[in-house]
Amino acid sequence: MAKTMTKSQVADHLAAKAGTTKKTAAKLLDDLSALAYKEAKNVFVVPGIGRLVLANRKARMGRNPQTGEAIKIPAKRVVKFRVAKVAKDAILGKR
């Protein structure tokens, strides 16, 4: 399995592409993630990549895999990421 890029590697790549310093690119990544965290409750869109969405999960019945006992899983709020169609087509190819 291929290794994922670290934040430092991403910042280095962005700095080279934009012709700025690595420090500026790292700051941009930090600011983008901080904005995404703050705005996720509304819906945060990164054009061409996807959107962060806050969703409510209903309470449901589940099973303890060790004992097989039925348990009640409480309702909760979760963060989901929905990948944009453009990103899917670019990664998987057109069907």
List, for residues 54-83, the tens digit of each pLDDT value: 999 999 999 999 999 999 999 999 999 999
Range of the domain at 15: 1-39
If asked whether residues 30 and 52 sit together in one domain, one would say no
| The total number of structural domains that make up the chain | 2
Give me the pLDDT at residue 2, please.
74
DSSP H or E run through 77: strand 76-83
Give me the pLDDT at residue 48, please.
92
DSSP H or E run through 91: helix 85-92
Residue type, 65: P
If asked whether residues 57 and 94 sit together in one domain, one would say yes
If asked whether residues 92 and 60 sit together in one domain, one would say yes
If asked whether residues 53 and 24 sit together in one domain, one would say no
pLDDT for 1 beyond 70: no
If asked whether residues 29 and 48 sit together in one domain, one would say no
If asked whether residues 86 and 60 sit together in one domain, one would say yes
pLDDT in tens, 5-45: 999 999 999 999 999 999 999 999 999 999 999 988 889 99
If asked whether residues 33 and 44 sit together in one domain, one would say no
